[in-house]
Amino acid sequence: MKNADILIHGCTILPMNRKRSIENGALAVKDGRIAFVGKNASAGRIVAEAKIDAKGKVALPGLINCHTHVPMTVFRGIADDKPLNVWLDKTIWPLEARLKPEDVYNGALLGCLEMIEGGTTCFADMYFHEDEVAKAVEKSGLRGVLGEGVIEAGSSVQGEKMLARSVSFAERFRDYADGRVSAMLAPHAVYSCSPELLLKVGEEASRLGVGLHLHLGESETMLREFEKKNRLSEVEFLNKIGLLNERVLAAHCIDLSEKDMRTLSNRKVNAAYVPVANMKLGLSAAKVKDLTSLGVNVGLGTDGPASNNSLDLFETMKTGALLQKHEYLDPTVLPAYEVLKMATLNGARAVGLEKDVGSLEVGKKADIILVDLAKPHLTPLHDIYSTIVYSARAADVETVIVDGKILMQNQQARSLDEQAVMEKARKTAYDLLSR
């Protein structure tokens, strides 16, 4: 007879370390990790403090958002239907200049609440006042891979200050919130950081043993302008200065040449596919079929709530799959299982946490979500992967567990006060606009 903290029983399990599902399965959680995964009939001798009857539900690894700017929830809906350069120059950057640390905390807490209720258990974030994001992660119970943003924008003094802050953040928060927070350095992009600054970023990342999270190939216009100015593509430039390796998480990766994609593969760079925000801003789509065929690990990202406008990875999975089929004019491109893998196991690898999360295996951290299948839009059930990717919605998530702690059950958030978080964020947003 075994003891456990939580026993989830009666569900269909999608382990994601293999395609085969487990029907009428059970999961046991002990000391924050998965202690048992298997048939319900084999779990009869497990004694647990808490039991969750999950009949009619599917258990899968918590979803992983590989690229976002979570505090931008307070900008949701205020700069829509504009080109990227106008969106940034005229609205977003002027508003960000007014941000106070408490604004970032309140926005991040709202984002954490949204992700909990949508089944996202881990996210990679880059922003300013990132220590406030870390505090929001601690309070919410989520898992975060966080980086303080570095932007030079023509001022070497500013660049040095922001790098110092990014390094300080990584040193202070690399194992924060009982290990649920890990750190990266976050240089914004090659067009906003000088070669000299990027070299220093690389040196500091190597010294600290942390990865890099940056934007790469955001738009064809940006790529062409950079190439015209530097006579190298963004990828060629980063490769030349030695910044590409397996600990780099590159967001967007659209309009890349085959040569650039091969370089990313050879350097084992991880890509974050961000379909919804790219479509909303009228940009191209990353060539996911080409990237994965070349061996590039690709995860999924929402981008910030100002350019998406949500943190919904279920929406991102469906949209991302459909966009690839549309781009290649081929319905077989990016099938349901593969896109769900991108949102789980591939995502864990992209953020450097594949040993701990991304699949439901004994010994891994207990980051588990339950999706309620007893809904009209999920009936009948023929293919579980197709149902999750093409039919399920964030609102179908019923239970969320991170690090063995229940953050939401019966669609009721436990770690955060939903109404209080939303009200604080509303006040923050209106105050920010009035400054």
* Domain edges within the chain: 2-61+366-411, 63-350
Any residues with CB less than 8 A from the CB of 209 and at least 6 apart, and which? none
Q: How many residues belong to the chain?
A: 435
The DSSP call for residue 378 is: G
CATH fold label, 63-350 = TIM Barrel (3.20.20)
Q: Please give the mean pLDDT across all residues of the chain.
A: 96
Q: What is the pLDDT of residues 135-168, one digit of tens each?
A: 999 999 999 999 999 999 788 999 999 999 999 9
Q: Do the domains 63-350 and 2-61+366-411 match in fold?
A: no
Residue 44 has pLDDT above 90, yes or no: no
Amino acid at position 66, single letter:
C
Q: What is the pLDDT of residues 223-273, one digit of tens each?
A: 999 999 999 999 999 999 999 999 999 999 999 999 999 999 999 999 999
User: Could you tell me the two tokens for 164?
Assistant: 């110092």
Choosing among 3.30.420.40, 2.70.98.60, 3.40.50.300, 2.30.40.10, the CATH entry for 2-61+366-411 is 2.30.40.10
The DSSP call for residue 62 is: P
Range from 95-99, 287-291, 314-318, 363-367 carrying the lowest mean pLDDT: 95-99
- Report d(CA 119, CA 101) in Å as an integer: 27
DSSP string, 275-340: HHHHHHTT---B-HHHHHHTT-EEEE----TTTSS---HHHHHHHHHHHHHHHHT-TTSS-HHHHH
Q: What is the pLDDT of residues 317-339, one digit of tens each?
A: 999 999 999 999 999 999 999 99
Interior angle at CA 5, CA 2 and CA 8, nearest 5 = 90
- Give residue for tokens 């109404």: 419
- Return the percentage of the chain with pLDDT > 90, whole number: 92
Residue 127 has pLDDT above 60, yes or no: yes
- How distant, in Å, are the alpha carbons of 154, 208, 224, 262, 264 from that of 195? 12, 20, 18, 22, 19
Residue 2 has pLDDT above 80, yes or no: no
Q: What is the pLDDT of residues 190-208, one digit of tens each?
A: 999 999 999 999 999 999 9
Residue 397: how many CB atoms within 10 A of its CB?
24
CA dihedral for 182, 187, 190, 192, sign (positive or negative): positive
Q: What is the pLDDT of residues 390-428, one digit of tens each?
A: 999 999 999 999 999 999 999 999 999 999 999 999 999
User: Could you tell me the two tokens for 160?
Assistant: 């040095």
Number of separate helices (H) and strands (E) present in the chain: 16, 17
Choose among 241, 146, 152, 138: nearest CA to 193.
152
Do the beta carbons of residue 340 and residue 385 sit within 8 Å?
Answer: yes
pLDDT the model gives residue 1: 52
